[in-house]
Every structure is written in structure tokens, then in C-alpha cells.
Amino acid sequence: MDKTINITLKVWRQRGPKERGAFESYKLDGISTDSSFLEMLDILNEKLINEGKEPVVFDHDCREGICGMCSLYVNGHPHGPDDSITTCQLHMRRFKDGETITVEPWRSAGFPVIRDLMVDRTAFDKIIQAGGYTSINVGGAQDANAILIPKEAADEAMDSASCIGCGACVAACKNGSAMLFVSAKVSQLALLPQGRAEAARRAKAMTARMDELGFGNCTNTGACEAECPKNVSISNIARLNREFLKAKFRD
Amino acid sequence: MSWLLKSSIGRKFIMALSGCCLVLFLLFHMCMNVVSIISIEAYEAICGFLGTNWYAVLATGGLALLFIVHILYALSLTLKNKKARGNDSYAMSSSLSSVTWTSKNMFVLGVVVLVFLLLHLYDFWFKMMFAELFNLHDIVVLPEEVGGHMAMLFGSPVKVALYFIGIVALWLHLTHGVWSMFQSTGLNGRTWYPRLKCIGNIVATIICLGFLIVPIFFLAKHFLCGAC
């Protein structure tokens, strides 16, 4: 037999970006502890639809922790109380019978609420766009070993590249700063020889776009790193600072 | 060079740079203070050497400028960060063990340190350099009288308690500030991150112990051997 729990959900409901939101409570009985958090929300929405009420709007896509689409601030943590996973990988076994679970959207000036738990994260796309292109050689295929990359650099670049751009860092930061995201995106290219050609331009352009979009300044609290579902390190932020200052002083 | 004022990393760079200079000043100030325990005559000689000479006045002006830059930037950064955070706060937020309380309260700690600094300036700088420069004869403390002035000031437990609070706030401010300036200027990395945190704590502790020992020494002296 499946183990089931009864829970109370406190969910943020907001009809639109300009309207005032408020919490609403819903009781859900007999939720299997094997179901995922988002499946639980699906059950809630089905119940709401059957009752003729508006379902709760929330972001989700791949449901396997790689697309970066799911968000949710669950019980005081972006992506819930579990470490190193996204909301879609969170399971109901993490919660106790009779528990009240608070579900909020990301809250940051850079991520305005669209509706209920869905926020507008296009600011991240704009920062990525500002990053621009990387130069590659065209013509005949290059020999795979023509550019040597040390193992450490490759590993670290891969760690930086594991950022899925979900925005948990901004949600966790008391300053609403996007530095962890931007620094991961700058680092994944700056660490590799192929990315060095435009490294200075990229660091300047992405930082400028980030500032323009109203994200805050980094005060090195490390909350982003602690809440990041992909464990992206704040040593990336030091690298972004270094790349940016180097580029500016060279000008 | 307008990027220093306009970009977030530029502003943090100025915070780090001014903070670094202030830490160096604190180290010098602490070393100077400790001399007063070893020999009060030597300490008075140092005060006489600094006194109201042109280089000391110039350095004081530079120092004041550093403080003003550090404080104004802290103010502007804090306001910008509050705005970036938005108006809605989370209904439920939980603290993370890896996020230190000091790192989230640098501005509050800075205000406490500033209040302490004003008190400290009034106790010493105002009565020494300022009074001597502007010939305020009734309150002036000359370099050769500084030993007596300190014994009088730190004979009061209330004053020592106030200094204690100020220095503890400074310690908390520095435990985050010192390693943070390496992070903000990009001199940090995976290997050096834990090392710099450790070095930061050591520097903060050395500075604050050096500062604390002086008022406590004079208070103990006042109570243990009265008139001597």
C-alpha cells in the first residue's frame, strides 16, 4: 500500500501583474508520498477545475530537472526544502502528514509576477542575448585535438554550464541580484579557449544588461549558491568580477 | 571611467578598495594603540609625532574622504538593492546555515560602527587635533597629556562598555568585509575561497583584540591600582 498524507496548501493567488495578490488555503487529502510536488499541484488543479474554480498557474516543462522552467518558493526555499534539486524533482515524501506547505512565486523586481506562481523571467533571455556570439573557424572540420584544454578547466566550465537559468539565485538573494546566473554564463565560455576571443566584450555586455534590467548588486552572502539546484559556485562571481574589471581597465 | 559609478561591479569595486584602505588604516591604528600598554611615554611620543603636522592633517583629510566614499556607496548600494528586491516580501523564509548573519546585515553593522566612530572622534580627535588646530584652549588635550586623558576616559565602565559594543560590531563587519573585498575585486577562486574566509576572520580578530585590550587595560589599571 502506498503511504498517503493529508496536507494544507497555502498558495499565492494573483490574477495579473498589476493586481494585488493574496494567499489562499486548500486542503488536499490522500496525497501519495511517491508523487512529485508538481503532480500534487496537478491533483489540486484537477480538483479546482472539477469544482468550477480557476486552477493555479505555475511554470513547468521537462519535469526532470534540466530545463529550468519550474520555479516555486516552497516553505521558504526556492525549489523547496531539498538540496540540489529543482521543484519538479521534489517529492511529497519530504513533507509530513498534516503539514501546511507555503507556495510562493519568485519575488524580485526583475521577475514580475505574471499570474499566481508564474513569473516573467525573460530578463534572463535578454542577458543571454547581450552575451552575443562566439567566433569559430569555418571550412574544413578542425582536428579534435588542435585546441588543448586542461581537464580542470573543462571540468570547471562544465560545472558553470550546469546552470539551467531557473532564477533561484535571484529569488534567494536579499538584493535580487542575478550575479550567480550571469557569472555562470560568462564563466562557461571564459574558461575555455574557444570562448576567450569575445570574453571581455561578453563580460561587459552581459553585466551592463543585467544592471539595466534592474537586478541588484552582489553583497557576497552566498544565499544563491546554497539554494542553487545545480550547485553553481560563487567562485564564478569572483571570475565575472575579474573578467569585467580586467576588461574595463584594459579599455 | 564612468563605469566605476554606473556598473554594479564598479560600485562594488569602489566599496572593496575603500574598505581595503580602511582595513590598512585600522591595522596601523591598532598597532599604535597597543604601544600605549607597553609604554605610555612612547605612545605620547607617537601622538606628538603625528600631532597637528601638515602630513597628519593631510592624512586625516584623506581618511575622512575614504570613510565618506565607503559610507555613501554603502547607502546607494543598499537603496538600489532594496529596490531590486521589490516590494513583496516572502511570507515564509528560512535561514541557511551557510549564510552568515553578518553578511546580510552589513549596513546595520556599518551604522553601529559609524555611531561608535563619532563617539570615538569626539573623545579623542576633537579634543586633540581639532582643538589644537582651532585653539580651543579649554578642552584641548596635548600629546603629552594623552596618557592621563586615556586613564580618565577608560576609568569609566560605561565608556568601556560602549567601546566594547562598537568594537564587537566592527569585528562582525570585518569578518564579512575582509574576505568579501577579495571576492568583489575578483581575486578569489575555488582554492582561495575557504583560505580567504579564514584569513579574513584572523585579520578581523587581530584588529579587534588589539583595539579591545587598550580600554580594558586602562579600566583594570584604574580599579586594581587606583592612583598609580
pLDDT of B227 strictly over 60: no
Same domain for A129 and A95, yes or no, is no
Handedness of CA B18, B19, B23, B25 (dihedral sign): positive
Same domain for A91 and A126, yes or no, is no
Which DSSP string corresponds to chain B? -THHHHSHHHHHHHHHHHHHHHHHHHHHHHHHHHHHHH-HHHHHHHHHHHTT-HHHHHHHHHHHHHHHHHHHHHHHHHHHHHHHH-S---SS----TTS-HHHH-HHHHHHHHHHHHHHHIIIIIIIIIIHHHTT-TTT---GGGHHHHHHHHTT-HHHHHHHHHHHHHHHHHHHHHHHHHHHHTT---TTHHHHHHHHHHHHHHHHHHHHHHHHHHHHHHHHHSTT-
Backbone angles phi, psi at A110, to 5 degrees: -75, -20
Same domain for A167 and A198, yes or no, is yes
In tens, the pLDDT along A38-83 reads 999 999 999 999 999 999 999 999 999 999 999 999 999 999 999 9
Question: Does B97 or A128 have the greater pLDDT score?
Answer: A128
CATH number reported for the structural domain that contains residue A175 in this entry: 1.10.1060
In tens, the pLDDT along B162-185 reads 999 999 999 999 999 999 999 999
- In angstroms, the CA A190 to CA A217 distance is 22
CATH number reported for the structural domain that contains residue A93 in this entry: 3.10.20.30
Task: Choose from A74, A155, A219 for mutation: most chain B CBs within 10 A.
Answer: A219
Same domain for A79 and A191, yes or no, is no
Strand partners, A104: A73
Residue B190 located in a structural domain: yes
Residue B46 located in a structural domain: yes
Residue B92 located in a structural domain: no
In this predicted complex, what is the ipTM?
A: 0.91
Residue B95 located in a structural domain: no
The reply to whether residue A207 touches residue B7, judged by beta carbons under 8 angstroms, is yes
Give residue B157's pLDDT: 93
Residue A116 located in a structural domain: no
pLDDT of B225 strictly over 90: no
Look at the block and give the residue holding cell 552568515: B100
The reply to whether residue B80 touches residue A217, judged by beta carbons under 8 angstroms, is yes
Task: Grade residue B140 by pLDDT with cuts at 50, 70 and 90.
Answer: confident
Contacts of A22 (CB under 8 A, 6+ apart): A12, A13, A14
Helix (H) / strand (E) containing A49: helix A37-50
Smallest CA–CA separation between A182 and chain B, in Å? 12
Same domain for A129 and A45, yes or no, is no
CATH number reported for the structural domain that contains residue B202 in this entry: 1.20.1300.10
Same domain for A126 and A221, yes or no, is yes
Tell me the residues of chain B between 87 and 126 that have a Cβ less than 8 Å away from chain A.
Answer: 88-94, 96, 98-100, 103-104, 106
Give residue B226's pLDDT: 62
Task: Grade residue A149 by pLDDT with cuts at 50, 70 and 90.
Answer: very high
- In angstroms, the CA A175 to CA A226 distance is 15
The minimal CB distance from A245 to the residues B8, B13, B99 is found for B13
pLDDT of B49 strictly over 60: yes
Out of A181-190, B76-85, B94-103, least confident range: B94-103
pLDDT of A185 strictly over 80: yes
Please, are residues B119 and B162 in contact by the beta-carbon 8 Å criterion? yes
Look at the block and give the residue holding cell 551592463: A208
Task: Grade residue A2 by pLDDT with cuts at 50, 70 and 90.
Answer: confident
In tens, the pLDDT along A222-235 reads 999 999 999 999 99
Determine the average pLDDT of the residues in A192-204: 95
Residue A53 located in a structural domain: yes
Task: Report which residue type is found at A240.
Answer: L
Give residue B51's pLDDT: 78
Sheet with A4-13, edge to edge strand ranges:
A22-32, A4-13, A100-104, A73-74, A77-78
Residue B34 located in a structural domain: yes
| pTM of the predicted protein model | 0.93
Same domain for A18 and A46, yes or no, is yes
Out of A87-91, B182-186, B188-192, least confident range: B188-192
Percentage of chain A beyond pLDDT 70 is 100
- In angstroms, the CA A117 to CA A107 distance is 10
Question: How distant, in Å, are the alpha carbons of A191, B41, B153, B160 from that of B143?
Answer: 57, 10, 15, 22
Handedness of CA B12, B14, B16, B18 (dihedral sign): negative
Same domain for A129 and A227, yes or no, is yes
Q: Give the burial class of A176: count Cβ atoms within 10 A of its Cβ; 0-12 exposed, 13-18 middle, 19 or more buried.
A: buried
Domain span at residue B150 reads 3-82+102-224
Backbone angles phi, psi at A4, to 5 degrees: -120, 155
pLDDT of A241 strictly over 90: yes
Task: Grade residue B228 by pLDDT with cuts at 50, 70 and 90.
Answer: low
Contacts of B139 (CB under 8 A, 6+ apart): B126, B127, B131
Residue B97 located in a structural domain: no
The minimal CB distance from B183 to the residues A10, A104, A220 is found for A220
3-state secondary structure of A246: helix
Same domain for A94 and A203, yes or no, is no
What count of Cα atoms within 13 Å lies in the side-chain half-sphere of residue A230?
Answer: 21
Same domain for A94 and A199, yes or no, is no
Give residue A75's pLDDT: 95
* Nearest in space to A188 (alpha carbons), one of A202, A170, A176: A202
Percentage of chain A beyond pLDDT 90 is 94
Please, are residues A182 and B9 in contact by the beta-carbon 8 Å criterion? no
Residue B93 located in a structural domain: no
The residue count of chain A comes to: 251
Please, are residues B57 and B125 in contact by the beta-carbon 8 Å criterion? no
Average pLDDT, rounded, for chain A: 95
Task: Report which residue type is found at A177.
Answer: S
- In angstroms, the CA A219 to CA A238 distance is 12
Helix (H) / strand (E) containing A171: helix A168-172
The reply to whether residue A239 touches residue B186, judged by beta carbons under 8 angstroms, is yes
Percentage of chain B beyond pLDDT 90 is 74
B187 contact residues in A (CB cutoff 8 A): 238, 242
Determine the average pLDDT of the residues in B138-155: 88
The residue count of chain B comes to: 228
3-state secondary structure of A213: coil
Q: How many domains does chain A have?
A: 2
In tens, the pLDDT along B96-117 reads 888 999 999 999 999 999 999 9
Same domain for A158 and A194, yes or no, is yes
Residue A217 located in a structural domain: yes
Domain span at residue A208 reads 122-135+147-250
Residue B88 located in a structural domain: no
Determine the average pLDDT of the residues in A22-33: 96
Same domain for A100 and A131, yes or no, is no
pLDDT of A169 strictly over 90: yes
Please, are residues B155 and B219 in contact by the beta-carbon 8 Å criterion? yes
Q: How many domains does chain B have?
A: 1
Helix (H) / strand (E) containing A29: strand A22-32
Backbone angles phi, psi at A246, to 5 degrees: -60, -45
